[in-house]
Amino acid sequence: MTRIALKARFRSHRPTGMQRYALELSSRFAAYLDPLVPERPLKGPSGHLWEQLYLPAAVGGRLLWSPNNTGPLAVAKQVCTIHDLIPLDHPEWFSRKFSQWYRWLLPRLAKRVRQIIAISEFTKCRIVELLGVPPEKIAVIPNGVNARFSPRPAGEMGAARAAL
């Protein structure tokens, strides 16, 4: 079986929401993934250049999973997870260059990739409305919860309630 190429630039970033999602899923699907990681941490324009120029050649015709909102335009055989469209909905929360880049990139990427994973029905609706993507191209797969967040025994819960 051919392994799936994974855009793993997230590994060099502090794990916040999207990075946590990618870390958790990539660890669970590690047997099927071939992570593509930059040689050093890349942020801003250098990260986008790596993504758009280096990554397509490194994929080598395999299926690429881009788990963090963006991916290379040159790779159509790609599944991209889109968590939200905040740079489009609230450009004032970001630098002007960042917002402009996403406003240019996301519509083109969404139309080009083979499949989009949206983390909620709301995100799917925003992708359809703002990016003009047919709804059948988008699969909604809600985020999961780490196993450490599991039901606790009744006694432990009672003790926690009493302490609080």
Report the run of H or E that residue 121 belongs to, with start and end. Answer: helix 121-131
Name the residue among 164, 146, 119 with its Cα closest to residue 18.
119
Choice among 49-63, 110-124, 136-150 with the minimum mean pLDDT: 136-150
Q: Judge whether residue 125 has pLDDT over 90.
A: yes
Residue range 19-31: mean pLDDT, rounded: 85
CA atoms within 13 A on the CB side of 76: 2
The residues that bridge with 36 in the sheet, in sequence order, are 7
Q: Judge whether residue 151 has pLDDT over 90.
A: no
Two structure tokens written together for 34: 């071939």
Which band of pLDDT confidence, cut at 50, 70 and 90, is reported for residue 1?
low
Q: Which CATH number fits domain 4-163: 3.40.50.2000, 1.10.260.40, 3.40.50.720, 3.40.718.10?
A: 3.40.50.2000
Report the run of H or E that residue 20 belongs to, with start and end. Answer: helix 17-28
pTM above 0.75, yes or no: yes
Q: What is the mean pLDDT of the chain?
A: 91
What are the residue ranges spanned by the domains of the chain? 4-163
Q: What is the pLDDT of residues 60-108, one digit of tens each?
A: 999 999 999 999 999 999 999 999 999 999 999 999 999 999 999 999 9
Chain centroid to Cα 160, Å, comes to 36
CA–CA dist 158, 164 (Å, integer):
10
